[in-house]
Amino acid sequence: MKKQARDELEEMFEELGELEDVRALTRKKLLADALQKAMKKQKVTPAEMARRMGTSRPTVYRLLDPAERGATLDTLERASHALGLELEIKLVPGTRPKGRRAA
């Protein structure tokens, strides 16, 4: 996507007050997709994933649902461990919307 189009989209979502929600949903979709790909590559079913995580299948399905944002850090850690992956989380400087000050 061209930078100008991306900037315009971000500005539109910011004006609607939905930019952070869109970003959060995007991050969740990326996580869900990465978990699904790892499960497929390793031929791990949701039932097997739940067993490895020590949880229920509905919990696994919620974790794999891109629209479900309620995943906890603990759940993400157990999911990554169940697949032999390491969860890496980092904090990076953010961009503040124009005209707003940090609290």
pLDDT at position 41 is 98
- 43 Cβ contact partners less than 8 Å away, ≥ 6 residues apart: none
Report the pLDDT value the prediction gives residue 99, as an integer from 0 to 100: 55
Question: With contact defined as beta carbons under 8 Å apart, do 57 and 12 qualify?
Answer: no
CATH number assigned to the domain comprising residue 12? 1.10.260
Mind listing the pLDDT tens digit for each residue in 24-45?
A: 899 999 999 999 999 999 999 9
Containing domain of residue 17, as a range? 3-82
Is there a domain that residue 94 lies in? no
Q: Which residue has the tokens 């461990």?
A: 81
Instruction: Give the model's pLDDT for residue 100.
Output: 55
Confirm whether 50 is domain-assigned.
yes
Q: Total domain count for the chain?
A: 1
- Give pTM, 2 decimals: 0.79
**Positions in the chain whose pLDDT score sits under 70:** 1, 96-103
For residue 19, being part of any structural domain is answered with yes
Q: How far apart are CA 100 and CA 90, in angstroms?
A: 24
